[in-house]
Amino acid sequence: MKRIAGRAAELLARTGVLRVLETVDRATRRVAILVYHRIDEPAAEPDLDPGLVSATPADFRAQMEVLASHAHPISLAQLLDAHLEQHPLPPRAVLVTFDDGYRDFATHAWPVLRSMGIPAMLFVPTAFPDGAPEGFWWDRLHSALARTRERAIEVEGLGSLALADPAHRRSAHRALRDRFKSLPHDEALAGLDRLISRLADVPPLNRVLGWDELRTLAREGLAVCSHGQTHALHTRLSPDALRRELTESRSRIERELEGAAPQPTLAYPANANDPRVQEAVRDAGYRLAFGGRRGIARLPLANPLDLMRLPVLRYATALFRAQLRPIVADWGARLTAARS
């Protein structure tokens, strides 16, 4: 589907239709919120899950050049003003966000953003800076599958998973990821630890920016915000555990970034939220929360605790430009809903 969409976007660009859509878009009551994860070459860190690479450094620079020339990048402060004070946004407003806090943000993304004057938000799970040396569970799982000598493995609830070649291991990774995401958080982590120990020895894989680095970035203008504490799926937590995730992550950021303006903003880990979670988020004092629905947010915000975003998935430049147009984003949202 992405190949087909890419060809269609290239056709729109070549025929000038895309440029026309950009020129006539004068709406000031909506914002395209982009979400990135890693900016790197997919093979640069073989132990890390390449599925989290949103763009290569070269593609990211090209995408930011598109924003600089065809859109109006805005900051979190501008979005909050538009939401709370009803201030208008510029036409073709775009907000750039990053989840997880991988170090390649500082290496590859921030220098480009800063040089072009493009604001950004970074959502960080607060247990990982200077802690949790084992790293994120999806990277550990990827590394274990890449390193294992097993040809197949039995997994409760999934049966036998073939591991004979890279294609089988990618398929196993998807099946295991979905399986463990469906379990309560503590049960999922315990099951992952047992599985990984059966597969291979995995080195420490924490590649999250430390607090000193985050303090430097915040002083330079980056909005550092909560991505929970342990990156637990909020829908898989008990009420007490959810309350701790929300309050402790926010207070840790405020404590570590003392002197920076507090950012009452959250991105749900793995986009997991529901009405119960949103109520807990509101009770914890957050004003905005970024959810999993795909699309372009419109003001006034129908639900400020479930804001739509547009994930960037290693798009070619024309497809990236097309995703920013409401007609294309709405079509993509409908297609995604139909396939889920």
Give the pLDDT confidence score for residue 263 in this predicted structure. 80
If asked whether residues 87 and 147 sit together in one domain, one would say no
Give the pLDDT confidence score for residue 167 in this predicted structure. 95
Give the pLDDT confidence score for residue 101 in this predicted structure. 98
If asked whether residues 192 and 226 sit together in one domain, one would say no
Rounded-to-integer distance, Cα 270 and Cα 237, Å: 14
Give the pLDDT confidence score for residue 293 in this predicted structure. 84
If asked whether residues 52 and 156 sit together in one domain, one would say no
Res 21 pLDDT > 50: no
If asked whether residues 102 and 164 sit together in one domain, one would say no
If asked whether residues 245 and 333 sit together in one domain, one would say yes
- The whole-number average pLDDT for the span 195-201 is 97
- Pull the structure tokens for residue 247: 């309050």
If asked whether residues 271 and 147 sit together in one domain, one would say no
Give the pLDDT confidence score for residue 143 in this predicted structure. 98
Q: Would 210 be classed as within a structural domain?
A: no
Last residue within a domain, chosen from 199, 214, 248: 199
How far from 7 is each of 41, 108, 317, CA to CA, in Å?
A: 23, 28, 11
Q: Would 209 be classed as within a structural domain?
A: no
- The whole-number average pLDDT for the span 265-270 is 96
If asked whether residues 68 and 115 sit together in one domain, one would say yes
* Three-state secondary structure of the chain: CHHHHHHHHHHHHHHCHHHHHHHHCCCCCEEEEEEECEECCCCCCCCCCHHHEEECHHHHHHHHHHHHHHCEECCHHHHHHHHHCCCCCCCCEEEEEEECCECHHHHHHHHHHHHHCCCCEEEECCCCCCCCCCCCHHHHHHHHHHHCCCCEEEECCCEEEECCCHHHHHHHHHHHHHHHHCCCHHHHHHHHHHHHHHHCCCCCCCCECCHHHHHHHHHCCCEEEECCCCCCCHHHCCHHHHHHHHHHHHHHHHHHCCCCCCCCEEECHHHCCCHHHHHHHHHCCCCEEEEEEECCEECCCCCCCCEEEEECCCCCHHHHHHHCCHHHHHHHHHHHHHHC
Give the pLDDT confidence score for residue 316 in this predicted structure. 76
Give the pLDDT confidence score for residue 9 in this predicted structure. 42
Res 12 pLDDT > 70: no
Tell me the angle at which helices 185-199 and 137-147 cross, rounded to the nearest 10 degrees. Answer: 20
Q: Would 305 be classed as within a structural domain?
A: yes
Contacts of 3 (CB under 8 A, 6+ apart): none
If asked whether residues 193 and 309 sit together in one domain, one would say no
How many degrees, rounded to 5, is the angle at CA 32 between CA 79 and CA 276? 70
- The whole-number average pLDDT for the span 62-88 is 93
Contact 267, 311 (CB under 8 A): no
Last residue within a domain, chosen from 165, 199, 233: 199
Q: Would 206 be classed as within a structural domain?
A: no
Res 4 pLDDT > 60: no
Give the domain extent around 155: 137-199
Give the pLDDT confidence score for residue 339 in this predicted structure. 47
If asked whether residues 169 and 74 sit together in one domain, one would say no
CATH number at residue 125: 3.20.20.370
Q: Would 7 be classed as within a structural domain?
A: yes
Tell me the angle at which helices 166-181 and 137-147 cross, rounded to the nearest 10 degrees. Answer: 150
If asked whether residues 234 and 269 sit together in one domain, one would say yes
Q: Would 217 be classed as within a structural domain?
A: no
Q: Band of the pLDDT at 247, cuts 50, 70, 90?
A: very high
- The whole-number average pLDDT for the span 182-199 is 95
Res 323 pLDDT > 60: yes
- Pull the structure tokens for residue 17: 């239709």
Res 48 pLDDT > 80: yes
Give the pLDDT confidence score for residue 251 in this predicted structure. 94
Q: What percent of the chain has pLDDT over 90?
A: 75
Q: Would 159 be classed as within a structural domain?
A: yes
- The whole-number average pLDDT for the span 264-283 is 96
If asked whether residues 105 and 229 sit together in one domain, one would say yes
Res 28 pLDDT > 90: no
Q: Which of 8-17, 111-120, 323-332 has the highest mean pLDDT?
A: 111-120
| Number of structural domains the chain divides into | 2
If asked whether residues 240 and 321 sit together in one domain, one would say yes
Question: How does the average pLDDT of the chain come out, rounded?
Answer: 89
Q: Would 211 be classed as within a structural domain?
A: no
